């Protein structure tokens, strides 16, 4: 460790006066770059005799000042080691968001749907807004005023619902969380006005509309998924993920425990990876057994016979 005056970031030299060969010498002491004490003798050219010591001390101080100035003119202190997270402040925002999405996805174990959703947010609306024109936003550019304008843009110009904008807000919050915890950059979400979700009022089909829907898809490749949605209210992923092994034709039960999801094209490298099956539903409460209704049983048996 270099012996520095930390207030000025300079090498500090001390001096004492010693006699050698009848001449007063200025003995200069300091630490080198490796933290090792060094000393150097320089002649004051003043004879060592009574009455000359004070004059020699004044000359030694001048020698010390000149030597110290010369050292510091050549000395370039090593830059302060940068926290790896601090270096991220100069990353382009889009690169940073993609990098953090991968990190957070692993830690939080995002499923394919969640990962693809966030990836789509980055690649579409966020990229269009923060990477358009001649300027690309960096991580340090983003504060709550910038994000507040972005969320307004999503609402007014992109016509997104507040429930969707909240997903964008969560993405930024999680992304900047590590920088905030290390006191490198304040989370830009802090200070953003609360975004309230709209009240969702579902609209249901009446019997006439349901009959028209079933007639419309009769014989179609997606007739069975449509019927499963109508009769049981299955999610798309559940209807498409239904296996023959989950259907008990003897005891008239259907077990919902497998789903199929479609990943965003932007989240995959190969189209063969577009559809992903998994032996679980959206959450543990979605695993359930349902009665096999006679109308559905007939359609399924006909389908199985054709196969």
- Give residue-wise pLDDT tens across range 130-155: 987 778 999 999 999 999 999 999 99
Give, rounded to a whole angstrom, the gap between the first and last alpha carbons of the chain: 79
Spatial strand order of the sheet with 288-291 comes to 247-248, 253-256, 288-291
0.95 exceeded by the pTM? no
Question: Length of the chain in residues, anyone?
Answer: 307
Q: Give yes or no for a contact between 168 and 124, defined as CB atoms under 8 angstroms apart.
A: no
The tokens describing 1, both together, are 């460790």
Helices marked H in 29-111: 53-74, 84-87, 93-108
pLDDT attached to residue 18: 87
pLDDT attached to residue 189: 94
pLDDT attached to residue 259: 81
pLDDT attached to residue 271: 59
Of the candidates 74, 163, 78, which has an alpha carbon nearest to the alpha carbon of residue 117? Answer: 163
What crossing angle do the helices spanning 162-181 and 112-121 adopt, rounded to 10°?
Answer: 90
Q: Give yes or no for a contact between 256 and 288, defined as CB atoms under 8 angstroms apart.
A: yes
Distance CA 224, CA 239 (A): 8
HEC-encoded secondary structure of 235-253 = CHHHHHCCCHHHEECCCCE
pLDDT tens, residue by residue, 266-302 = 455 565 666 666 655 555 556 789 999 999 999 999 9
Distance CA 205, CA 229 (A): 12
Residue 183 backbone dihedrals phi, psi, to 5 degrees: 55, 35
Helices marked H in 81-161: 84-87, 93-108, 112-121, 127-130, 144-156
Residues facing residue 16 across a β-bridge = 27
pLDDT attached to residue 288: 87
Helices marked H in 217-282: 223-232, 236-240
Of the candidates 156, 151, 157, which has an alpha carbon nearest to the alpha carbon of residue 173? Answer: 151
Q: Give yes or no for a contact between 259 and 277, defined as CB atoms under 8 angstroms apart.
A: yes
pLDDT attached to residue 109: 79
Residues facing residue 20 across a β-bridge = 23
Distance CA 95, CA 97 (A): 6
Q: Give yes or no for a contact between 286 and 238, defined as CB atoms under 8 angstroms apart.
A: yes
What are the residue ranges in the chain where pLDDT is below 70?
1-9, 33-34, 76-82, 262-286
Residue 1: CB atoms within 10 A of its CB come to 7
Tell me the CA distances in angstroms from 218 to 214, 215, 227, 281, 292, one per residue in order. Answer: 6, 5, 10, 27, 19
Distance CA 283, CA 256 (A): 12
pLDDT attached to residue 260: 79
Distance CA 37, CA 78 (A): 18
């Amino acid at each position: 460790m270099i012996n520095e005056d930390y207030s000025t970031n300079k090498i500090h030299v001390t001096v004492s006066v010693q006699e050698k060969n009848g001449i007063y010498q200025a003995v200069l002491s300091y630490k080198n770059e490796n933290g090792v004490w060094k000393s150097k003798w320089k002649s004051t050219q003043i004879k060592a005799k009574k009455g000359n010591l004070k004059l020699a001390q004044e000359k030694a101080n001048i020698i010390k000042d000149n030597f110290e100035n010369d050292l510091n003119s050549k000395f370039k202190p090593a830059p302060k080691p940068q926290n790896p997270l601090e270096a991220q402040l100069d990353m382009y925002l889009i690169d940073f968001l993609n990098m953090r999405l991968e990190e957070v996805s692993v830690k939080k174990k995002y499923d394919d749907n969640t990962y693809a959703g966030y990836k789509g947010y980055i690649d579409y609306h966020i990229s269009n807004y923060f990477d358009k024109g001649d300027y690309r936003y960096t991580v340090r550019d983003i504060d709550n005023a910038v994000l507040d304008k972005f969320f307004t843009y999503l609402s007014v110009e992109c016509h997104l619902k507040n429930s969707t904008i909240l997903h964008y807000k969560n993405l930024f919050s999680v992304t900047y969380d590590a920088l905030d915890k290390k006191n490198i950059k304040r989370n830009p979400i802090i200070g953003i006005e609360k975004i309230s979700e709209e009240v969702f009022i579902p609209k249901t089909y009446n019997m006439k509309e349901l009959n028209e829907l079933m007639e419309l898809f009769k014989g179609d490749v997606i007739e069975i998924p449509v019927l499963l949605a109508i009769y049981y209210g299955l999610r798309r992923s559940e209807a498409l993920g239904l296996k023959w092994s989950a259907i008990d034709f003897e005891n008239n039960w259907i077990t919902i425990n497998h789903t199929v999801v479609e990943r965003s094209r932007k989240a995959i490298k190969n189209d063969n990876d577009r559809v992903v099956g998994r032996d679980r539903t959206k959450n543990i409460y979605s695993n359930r057994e349902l009665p096999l209704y006679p109308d559905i049983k007939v359609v399924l048996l006909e389908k199985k016979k054709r196969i």
